[in-house]
Chains A and B, each alone.
Chain A
Amino acid sequence: ELKVEQNPLFLSMQEGKNYTIYCNYSTTSDRLYWYRQDPGKSLESLFVLLSNGAVKQEGRLMASLDTKARLSTLHITAAVHDLSATYFCAVEHGDSNYQLIWGAGTKLIIKP
């Protein structure tokens, strides 16, 4: 069974600090997605990582993928309050190019 585990599930941090969210998955997959969800809202795509060693950056967020370790990281640099949200990673199901298996999400609270 394909499992996707995120940690931590909850993170409270101060503005200006750096931190990393981890996403581990249990089967081979070359495609991993990061999404953001604000409270009560839908999901917004952040990054699509398509191959081993892929690194994407947008503002203070940087995502990377190591398919050999089955690990993706989402790094936050010099956090600001606006980055407070829940972050999900999702891995493509091996049997179907269209299905995603989702992590439980990391709720990030950034305090001023």
Chain B
Amino acid sequence: DGGITQSPKYLFRKEGQNVTLSCEQNLNHDAMYWYRQDPGQGLRLIYYSQIVNDFQKGDIAEGYSVSREKKESFPLTVTSAQKNPTAFYLCASITSSNVYQPQHFGDGTRLSIL
């Protein structure tokens, strides 16, 4: 079955540590997104990528970095510069051949500070 796989499901970060969240899709989608969700809040866009080797900052990119070396993969690194990383992180994708389709989401990674 096609879908988006996020790992790990839970992640703990120590002070000063960088951590990387994985997002892999086998939907052959072109565009991929990373969102952050805080408790009781909506989604905020961190980064997005429309094609391989290209990505753009969203509204809250500071303290995060991404890469898009392969079409199916869009990992997110939460750097030590992100002082308040505790949140639920969601990866999504969409095909550019039919932009009227909704974004498809992975199951999310819950990140906490140790």
Contact = CB atoms under 8 A, between A and B. Distances in A.
Contacts of B90: 42-43
Contacts of B58: 99
A48 B48 contact: no
Contacts, number: 51
Which of B58, B90, B105, B106 has its CB near the most chain A CB atoms (within 10 A)?
Answer: B105
Which of A43, A100, A105, A107 has its CB near the most chain B CB atoms (within 10 A)?
Answer: A43
Contacts of B43: 43, 88, 90, 100, 102
B42 A33 contact: no
Interface residues of A, number: 22
Given A41-B107, A98-B48, A105 B41 contact: yes
A35 interface: yes
Interface string A25-43: 0000001010100000111
B108 interface: yes
Interface residues of B, number: 24
B42 A88 contact: yes
Contacts of A102: 42-44
B42 A104 contact: yes
Nearest to B35: A102
A45 B99 CA distance: 14
Contact of B105 (A31, A42, A50, A99): A42
Interface of B: 31, 33, 40-45, 48, 50, 58, 90, 94, 96, 99-108
